[in-house]
A and B are shown apart, each in its own frame.
Chain A
Amino acid sequence: TPLAGVRRSPYSTSEKPTPFKDITTYNNFYEFGTSKEAPAKLAGNLRTRPWTVSVEGLVKHPRVYDIDEILKLAPLEERIYRMRCVEGWSMVIPWIGLPLNALIKQAEPLGQAKYVAFITLYDPRQMPGQRRDVLPWPYVDGLRLDEAMHPLTLLAVGLYGRTLPNQNGAPLRLVVPWKYGFKGPKSIVRIRFVAQQPSSTWMRASPGEYGFYSNVNPDVDHPRWSQKRERRIGEFRKRPTLLFNGYGEQVAHLYRGMDLKKYF
């Protein structure tokens, strides 16, 4: 369904968006299978209404939100972002969503809250990929609180002007455009504020390969492949990968003084 009243955002890139068909048929969403084609084929039966998201942990106002309440927390915006996958390909995606900080401000984190963990749906009846333990389920990931508060950090509910297709993480997913794509957990059901750095599904699956930060960085190779270049979907030649996926001007200050090779 089309989403109404969507504003344009100054954070959008002017690069040409990847075709809708490619964005919605080439997905890493292991809950529906490990091939790129599986999510588009198998996610159709995921029930995205009713849907609730529990905001909990070290906050003044813990609360269970209905998804439609979250949609009203802030005006919906179109954010055309680059998306860089750790596998070496990239897309330009016209997301629709609201800044995560709108929800965080409502919840009012306590002083001890330093990190936010995102926990996604575990339901093997609806998500056939979860019947195999290729990853520790449910899929979880996290951000430092200042990363979560950053205006670029988006709770996406749609793309190309419409409700988010199931295979792209409906009804609610995280988008952090300066990090590798897997730092965008899909079909979120709980947002938890915590004091200690949370672990993530990929960190647990392979700690040497996936770090907590996972910022896009051409100078820190994945142990199994180079991250220097990427193939934009729809293009033939590879292009150089940019530090922080080209969002350095906005986010580099978050990591000032940090050794990005150590905190990869």
Chain B
Amino acid sequence: MKPIFWLKLGVFTASLVPLAQLVVDFYADQLGANPIEAITHSTGDWTLIFLLLSLTATPLRRLSGWQWPMKLRRMLGLYAFFYACLHFTTYVWLDQFFDWRSILADIPERPFITAGFLSFVLLIPLAATSTTGMIRRLGKRWVRLHRLVYASAIGGVLHYLWLVKADLAQPLLYAAILGMLLGFRLLRHWKGAAGARRPQGIANPRAPARPAPPAARASAGVRPGRDGRTGVRE
């Protein structure tokens, strides 16, 4: 087996640990006085952590030149969706017990729930189009569609920020990390745009770091790997 197989297997297994921990704690009565709140907070935290991890792949690849972060990106993104589903289910089932009237009142009225709900909804098309087949079929549009993850992550951090009563330390930490990850992309985008406007023939010392134009990027990105694995780059 190739090392990447073992890396993926390791990350896949490790990503299930938070869920396993919840199940173990639940049966050992270790979730405290308010288990439903504990489950809600844990699944919400892990959704944000996996979202941020998946957004780390591209900057890490750019800065280090390593390819392996990109090979983990889809799995990390899908785990973010997985924990978001658990989080949403916890809210609808355990917390509200399918009281749709109060759920439908909550979503538009409570800003933190509005933000969280939109974040979750935005992840659905991303998860649905995460297969290699869909990447190939959607081509350039896949890249554009998957930029929704930025909006989803911002909404997720706002969801947490607006929920907290007084101690903003934890949500602000998430906000700072997200700010860095998105800032990295913005900076590259501006640099790329500035580079693209330069007349041809003038040497650009930063050229190797500049992203390829969207068209080239997309066609390169949608190339499926020989063994069926995707070679998505961006």
Write the residues of chain A forming the contact surface with B, with a CB cutoff of 8 angstroms: 18, 21-22, 25-26, 30, 34, 36-37, 87, 89, 132, 134-135, 205-206, 221, 224-226, 228-229, 231, 233-234, 236-238
Q: Is A224 a contact partner of B112 (Cβ separation < 8 A)?
A: yes
Contact digits for B4-45, partner A, Cβ 8 Å, 1 yes 0 no: 000000000000000000000000000011101100000000
Nearest chain-B residue to A221 (Cβ)? B109
A-B contact count (CB 8 A): 52
Contact partner, B97, options A205, A233, A238, Cβ 8 Å: A238
Interface status of B179 (Cβ within 8 A of chain A): no
Q: Is A237 a contact partner of B97 (Cβ separation < 8 A)?
A: yes
Write the residues of chain B forming the contact surface with A, with a CB cutoff of 8 angstroms: 32-34, 36-37, 94, 96-97, 99, 102, 105-106, 109-112, 162-163, 165-167, 169
- Using Cβ atoms and an 8 Å threshold, which residues of chain A touch B102? 226, 228-229
Tell whether A226 pairs with B110 under 8 Å between CB atoms, given A26-B34, A134-B167.
yes
Q: Is B167 a contact partner of A34 (Cβ separation < 8 A)?
A: yes
Give, as a whole number of angstroms, the nearest-CB distance from A23 to chain B: 8
Pairs of residues from A and B, 6 with the lowest C-beta to C-beta distance, nearest first: A26-B33, A34-B167, A22-B33, A134-B167, A134-B166, A233-B33
Q: Is B36 a contact partner of A231 (Cβ separation < 8 A)?
A: yes
Q: Is B166 a contact partner of A231 (Cβ separation < 8 A)?
A: no
Nearest chain-B residue to A209 (Cβ)? B165
Give, as a whole number of angstroms, the nearest-CB distance from B52 to chain A: 21
- Using Cβ atoms and an 8 Å threshold, which residues of chain A touch B111? 224
- Most chain A CB atoms below 10 A, which of B32, B36, B110, B165: B165
Tell whether A135 pairs with B34 under 8 Å between CB atoms, given A225-B110, A226-B102.
no
Give, as a whole number of angstroms, the nearest-CB distance from B103 to chain A: 10
Q: Kindly state the separation between the CA atoms of A263 and B18 in the bound complex, as whole angstroms.
A: 44
Give, as a whole number of angstroms, the nearest-CB distance from A91 to chain B: 8
Give, as a whole number of angstroms, the nearest-CB distance from B208 to chain A: 45
Can you name 26 A-B pairs with beta carbons within 8 Å? A25-B33, A26-B32, A26-B33, A30-B167, A34-B166, A34-B167, A36-B33, A89-B34, A89-B37, A132-B167, A132-B169, A134-B167, A221-B109, A225-B110, A226-B105, A226-B106, A226-B109, A228-B102, A229-B102, A231-B34, A233-B33, A234-B33, A236-B94, A236-B97, A237-B97, A238-B97
- Using Cβ atoms and an 8 Å threshold, which residues of chain A touch B166? 30, 34, 134-135, 205
Give, as a whole number of angstroms, the nearest-CB distance from A132 to chain B: 8
- Using Cβ atoms and an 8 Å threshold, which residues of chain B touch A234? 33
Q: Is B34 a contact partner of A233 (Cβ separation < 8 A)?
A: yes
Give, as a whole number of angstroms, the nearest-CB distance from A237 to chain B: 6
Q: Is A25 a contact partner of B32 (Cβ separation < 8 A)?
A: yes
